[in-house]
Structure 1
């Protein structure tokens, strides 16, 4: 019985903690946060924009520069 009470108290505490953390966030903030996983791939961001009608602030990731052939060689 005590275990059930403690489990219920933990769930209720978690519910109120999440609610307290999100009480200062606006609906716009939460919408932007939900679109963050799609921001690093411009093609996927475009598809999500077409599907949802929401604007995704996509980030253009530059291609890494190719490594020079000399790097990684040890000369003794």
Structure 2
């Protein structure tokens, strides 16, 4: 795979994970926050948020290390991407 292919995959994963981001509304308190898509446990939501941030970082990277490619492979497997 080329670096561009890896970036496209990372962008696809980030797009998928974006649906799980919180939908914070002005004037709400932290206890009023609701997930954007599904009512997930906090640990799952936190994991998806961290994975979303990583996928966004990889999608924008100008160069990927072997460690980055490995992390992308783990994200692909975790979320069922081919």
Higher relative contact order (CA 8 A, sep 6+): 2
Compare CA radii of gyration and give the structure with the larger one.
Answer: 1
> Which has the larger helix fraction?
2
TM-score by length of 2: 0.29
TM-score by length of 1: 0.30
